[in-house]
Amino acid sequence: MRGTDIQQDSLFSTVSPESRVPKDHPLRPIRAMTDAALRELDADFNALYASSGRDSIPPEKLLRAQLLMAFYTIRSERQLMEQIDYNLLFRWFVGFSMDDAVWDHSTFTKNRNRLLGGEVARRFFGLVLTQADQAGLLSKEHFSVDGTLIEALASLKSYRPKDEEGPPGGGGRNPDVDFHGEKRRRDTHESKTDKDALLFKKSKGSESKLAYLGHLLMENRHGLVVDAQVTQATGTAEREAAVHMVQALSGTHRVTLGADKNYDTRNFVADLRHANVTPHVAQNTTNRASAIDARTTRHRGYATS
């Protein structure tokens, strides 16, 4: 007998988000690791908030929500809150019940400086990293570095002369801009909506974009990230960030650092050797001599990196 397509809402429900998340879902161990790190941050959170007054949104929930934004590549906090509202998995991970109302997306703007400015995010990252280290998952000798382009939330139309006052002619909130024949350089132009974003292209032939650069230092045993930085998008930022991150590694023993051929410059290789780091950098021999010589390439570990 065919059933009838009727949606009948129950007046009461005893279903919890926890009961709807599969036991083998990959977010379950991540939630456990996250909660362990957040418990260690309890004193840090107490120092950021007043001892009296109206209760805030728990910082633990704000940070869990930010993790979802990264895991699922959600482009805005407005979209994040929309998805948390209807997604049972997201509600469970953040710590919402079925009936809890979600926050307004502006909550993140109001709390970002408090959490990130207080170095809470970096402390949280360090505590998660400690868990991986205690489990024997981190290499202490072999690392790799890479950079990636992070597009700024600013359009090319906002890249205007620094001395220009007011919006360009054309009217409207998004006026037409004619760049034909105009040279746009960093010393003369800037984004009017994001002054820290710079015009940059990752490689020859690629499109120039207003962007930042993200840099990751990874250990080579399991490919886990051990450090991260975001910088302005300059031609030397990748190498400068790599040197800074590898110098921050604890210990006095020699380590190796793998990198692609964009890192093959004499200054970068010299900086690594000065920091007691063996440069396992891919050779760039296109119309030039590589800074990596046989002292490095003859070893089996170089090819492995």
| 31 and 59 inside one domain | yes
User: Is the four-CA dihedral 68, 72, 77, 82 of positive or negative sign?
Assistant: negative
- Domain assignment present for 174: no
Quote the pLDDT of residue 295: 78
- Interatomic CA distance for residues 56 and 299, integer angstroms: 56
- Interatomic CA distance for residues 276 and 264, integer angstroms: 17
Yes or no: say if 120 and 48 are a contact pair by the CB < 8 Å rule: yes
| 121 and 158 inside one domain | no
Q: What is the pLDDT of residues 151-162, one digit of tens each?
A: 998 888 888 887
- Domain assignment present for 202: yes
Q: Where are the beta strands (DSSP E) in the chain?
A: 142-151, 159-161, 189-191, 198-200, 209-219, 225-232, 255-259, 277-281
- Domain assignment present for 133: no
DSSP for 78-119 reads HHHHHHHHH-HHHHHHHT--SSPPPPPTHHHHHHHHHHHHTT
Q: How many domains does the chain have?
A: 2
- Domain assignment present for 227: yes
Q: What are phi and psi of 238, to 5 degrees?
A: -60, -45
Joined together, the tokens standing for residue 90 give 């997201």
Joined together, the tokens standing for residue 221 give 């045993």
Evaluate if residue 138 carries a pLDDT over 80. Answer: yes
| 186 and 273 inside one domain | yes
Q: What is the pLDDT of residues 192-237, one digit of tens each?
A: 888 899 998 877 777 888 999 999 999 999 999 999 999 999 999 9
Quote the pLDDT of residue 34: 97
CA triple 182-188-194, angle to 5 deg: 100
Q: How far is CA 167 from the centre of its chain?
A: 32
Yes or no: say if 270 and 293 are a contact pair by the CB < 8 Å rule: no
| 121 and 149 inside one domain | no
| 153 and 287 inside one domain | yes
Q: What is the DSSP letter of 249?
A: S
Quote the pLDDT of residue 55: 85
Q: What is the pLDDT of residues 72-95, one digit of tens each?
A: 999 899 999 999 999 999 999 999
CA distances from 86 to 15, 49, 62, 96, 98 (A): 15, 30, 17, 11, 9
| 189 and 41 inside one domain | no
Within 10 Å of residue 15's Cβ, how many Cβ atoms? 10
- Among residues 99, 125, 151, the one where a domain terminates is 125
- Domain assignment present for 9: no
Percent of the chain with pLDDT over 70: 88
| 275 and 146 inside one domain | yes
| CATH at 205 | 3.30.420
| 193 and 247 inside one domain | yes
| 233 and 273 inside one domain | yes
Within 10 Å of residue 246's Cβ, how many Cβ atoms? 21
Evaluate if residue 186 carries a pLDDT over 90. Answer: no
- 27-40 helix and 59-71 helix, angle to the nearest 10 degrees: 140
- Interatomic CA distance for residues 158 and 154, integer angstroms: 7
Domain span at 211: 138-165+182-305
- Interatomic CA distance for residues 143 and 139, integer angstroms: 8
Joined together, the tokens standing for residue 5 give 């397509």
| 189 and 50 inside one domain | no
- Domain assignment present for 130: no
| 215 and 303 inside one domain | yes
| 120 and 222 inside one domain | no
Yes or no: say if 142 and 255 are a contact pair by the CB < 8 Å rule: yes
The contacts of residue 303 (CB under 8 Å, 6+ apart) are none
- Domain assignment present for 10: no
- Domain assignment present for 175: no
